[in-house]
Amino acid sequence: MSRVTLRAATPGDLQLLRHWDKQPHVIAADPNDDWGWEVELARSPDWREQLIAELEGRPIGFMQIIDPAREESRYWGDVPDRLRAIDIWIGETDDLGRGYGTWMMQLALEKCFAPPEVTAVLIDPLASNVRAHRFYERLGFRFVGPRRFGDDDCFVFRLERPDWV
């Protein structure tokens, strides 16, 4: 059974998220984004969930789930309704590669697919993040194609509801 749980991120997580933002593996996976934590942790728009993953009560990572069609900045451009998109990272290097990310994704996918109308989940790792591509493919995601988001060359992957195991 998973020892990982997800809870809502709060303004009390500010220092933790800023600390994780400085870790080389977090920077490597997301070099160009400013998450504006001070502002964003203080608000809860209904198109987004910002989550802290905990391992038996110890915070180990961050996840965000959005409805890309309703997200304010229109990061995903013109996308249909009934989708979700996920961001994920583990904070400390010592916690990488221990199965925690798989548990985090399983919990997040349950949230994404809880509304019966949601058809698929999107994810956009950097094109260079080959280990993350393998990680998503193991979870059932399929490669859609390359796409440039701002300054980042990304690969889009998509998990269809029937492929969610």
Nearest CB to ligand COA, comparing residues 119 and 129: 129
Number of C-beta neighbours around residue 165 at 10 A: 8
Map the footprint of ligand COA across residues 117-146, applying CB under 6 A.
125, 129, 131-132, 134-135
Beta-bridge partners for 29: none
Q: List Cα–Cα distances, 36 to 14, 65, 81, in angstroms.
A: 10, 16, 26
Nearest CB to ligand COA, comparing residues 7 and 42: 7
Q: Which stretch binds ligand COA (CB under 6 A): 13-21, 22-30, 47-55, 64-72?
A: 22-30
Helix axes 130-138, 100-113, angle to 10 degrees: 60
Q: Where are the beta strands (DSSP E) in the chain?
A: 4-8, 48-55, 58-66, 83-90, 120-123, 142-149, 152-160
Nearest CB to ligand COA, comparing residues 41 and 61: 61
Q: Residues 99, 146, 160, 163: which binds ligand COA (CB under 6 A)? A: 99
| Contact residues: ligand COA, CB under 6 A | 25-26, 29, 88-90, 96-102, 125, 129, 131-132, 134-135
